[in-house]
A and B are shown apart, each in its own frame.
Chain A
Amino acid sequence: MTKMLWIICIGAGLMSCSSHLVLHQTPLIPLSKESVFVSETEEVIKPYRDSMATVMNKHVAYSPCNFVLERPSSNLMNWVADALFVNQTKTVRLSQPAFCLLNFGGLRATLNKGEILMGDLYKLMPFDNTITWVEIPVGLLPEIAAYLLKTGGEPLSNAYIENGKIVVNGLNENHSHVWIITSDYLANGGDNMLFFKKGSTYSSKTTTLRDALIEEATYQENLLEIIDKRIR
């Protein structure tokens, strides 16, 4: 274990000779191996960890790469939005286009290269937010584009931002409304996505976003990496 770092150091005697102030960087201080952790603390944690192991250490999938979280678009943002979009649309026939919009802040951990366990999906999506469909008039799309440009990017699937405008796949002049697949948190105006409040909301109230991600990850087995930039 090492300890490091920067020190801002200001000596009283230096007050009168201000040009000689020194910024110190402390040397690395190695901590002895025995002090790496406190064993009593570890003993408190262990029964809790062990009791979750059966559920949280369950194999879900493999990840071929590190899925990271970076605005405006990243492979993790794409994977989550795509997984939810596919999960929700593969068995339904829609009379108007749909896309998925989530929030950057709602993805709480990376998915790392290697085996993906149940616990990893809990870390990615720890909230119990439920899947919600919101039907909005197409006239609201510019407001959504403006929001995405202002925040610098959110997870998006089946739609992209180009030249300041949102392009929804399959949308044409005959459509008056589109579906947005999102979470109940955002549908209620969370993260200032106030445009959702102008739409009509349909929530399952039972299926969480995490449930859908677990289902899709299990189905994919090797997580699909898609790296296209959706805010461009």
Chain B
Amino acid sequence: MERRKFIRNASLGLTGLAFVHQGLGQAMNSKSKKLTILHTNDTHSNIDPLPDNHPKYPGMGGVAKRHALIKKIRSEEQHVLLFDAGDIFQGTPYFNTFKGHLEMKLMTAMGYDAATMGNHDFDIGLEGFIDAQTHADFPFLCSNYDFSNTIMEGKTQAHTIFYKGGMKIGVFGIGVNLESLVPNANYGKMIYKDPIETANQQAATLTEKGCDIVICLSHLGYEYKDDRPSDRLMAKKTRNIHLILGGHSHTFLEKPVLESNLDGVPVLINQTGWAGINLGRIDIDFDQKLVKGNTIKVV
């Protein structure tokens, strides 16, 4: 059994190599180009660690501990990016009491580079989000939420590009359909655009702009039994996306999963559970063509 599992993983690994080779081939010339991507999702206002009497995750998580881990990794690695895939809000009295201000302050302190919005980030309406967002010193990437007819106009952007050690990293955000998930009054005249179609457009745009790697911050959810858009479906039905950092379904992936895209090129998908219990880590070594996917427990 173990051996079979090993072989399966090994073959996945091979396709992963193809992905690195094909997608990142342009940036191979200079010495030691390494990128470390850290990510969270569905932290749900869990600022303190879970209680010590929690049946499944006693004492795990907590922002101050996550910050220590991030700091340590930043001290060890030259090029680090930190992302969140949404549902920053709702879940502890911190949110009921302070309406998301503390979450945004702490994410800024931890040095988040970008985030996307989850459905619960609409829980205090657009006005409430904007109010909390005044404490956020990082962009919110939402490519399939059209806010142009709302007070959120200009408060988010579809994508952004990071430049790290000569590498060009394109990142865009994709959100879940809010219908029947969030009361209509909380998002007003926001127009929801098809996530797969939009993801394809965003990935094409970022590729045209010469990005070495294209990352999607997704709040679609990992996988569904029905045909609802999910990270796995998005991976299958798009091209030019290398990495999907997901959220919404609170899925604990022990290690990233590979899925083939429209061109048969593997896409790496990861998700870290919820409540800040884990910190996701993807290391890309552009020289060695090496991809490592970690889940780090915040204990």
Q: Give the interface of A toward B (CB within 8 A).
A: 1-12, 14-15, 18-19, 21-24, 26, 31, 35-42, 44-45, 48-49, 51-52, 55-56, 66, 68, 108-110, 112-114, 118-119, 122-123, 126-128, 185, 188-192, 194
Give the number of residue pairs across the A-B interface with Cβ within 8 Å. Answer: 173
* A38:B68 contact, CB within 8 angstroms: yes
CA distance A109 to B47 in the complex (A): 15
| Set of chain B residues within 8 Å of A39, measured between Cβ atoms | 64
Within the complex, the shortest CB–CB distance from A110 to chain B, in Å, comes to 6
| Set of chain A residues within 8 Å of B110, measured between Cβ atoms | 41
Interface string of B121-150 (1 = CB under 8 A from A): 001000000000000000000000000000
A sample of 25 inter-chain contacts (CB < 8 A) reads A6-B255, A8-B13, A8-B291, A8-B292, A11-B17, A11-B289, A11-B290, A12-B289, A14-B17, A15-B14, A31-B68, A35-B68, A36-B65, A38-B68, A39-B64, A41-B106, A41-B109, A44-B102, A49-B48, A49-B94, A52-B93, A110-B55, A112-B54, A123-B92, A126-B95
Asked if B51 lies at the interface with its beta carbon under 8 angstroms from chain A, I say yes
Question: Apart from A5-B297, A8-B291, A18-B11, what 12 extra A-B contacts exist at CB < 8 Å?
Answer: A11-B290, A14-B17, A36-B68, A41-B64, A45-B47, A45-B48, A45-B102, A51-B97, A66-B55, A126-B96, A127-B123, A128-B96
Q: A37-B64, A56-B93, A108-B44 are in contact. Are A12 and B290 (CB under 8 A)?
A: yes
| Set of chain A residues within 8 Å of B151, measured between Cβ atoms | none
Within the complex, the shortest CB–CB distance from A68 to chain B, in Å, comes to 7
| Set of chain A residues within 8 Å of B297, measured between Cβ atoms | 2-5
Kindly identify, within residues 31 to 56 of chain B, every residue whose CB is under 8 Å from any CB belonging to chain A.
44-45, 47-48, 51, 53-56
| Set of chain A residues within 8 Å of B30, measured between Cβ atoms | none
| Set of chain B residues within 8 Å of A127, measured between Cβ atoms | 90, 123
Q: A48-B94, A122-B92 are in contact. Are A7 and B255 (CB under 8 A)?
A: yes
* B180:A1 contact, CB within 8 angstroms: no
| Most chain A C-beta atoms within 10 Å of own C-beta, residue among B44, B106, B296 | B296
CA distance A197 to B125 in the complex (A): 23
User: Size of chain B's interface in residues, with CB distance under 8 A?
Assistant: 61
Q: Pick the contact of A68 from B10, B55, B71 — CB < 8 Å?
A: B55
CA distance A56 to B48 in the complex (A): 13
| Most chain A C-beta atoms within 10 Å of own C-beta, residue among B64, B94, B255, B289 | B64
Interface string of B55-69 (1 = CB under 8 A from A): 110000011110111
Interface string of B81-93 (1 = CB under 8 A from A): 0000000001111
Q: Pick the contact of A126 from B13, B55, B91, B299 — CB < 8 Å?
A: B91
* B91:A7 contact, CB within 8 angstroms: no
Asked if B293 lies at the interface with its beta carbon under 8 angstroms from chain A, I say yes
Within the complex, the shortest CB–CB distance from B163 to chain A, in Å, comes to 24
* B293:A6 contact, CB within 8 angstroms: yes
Asked if B197 lies at the interface with its beta carbon under 8 angstroms from chain A, I say no
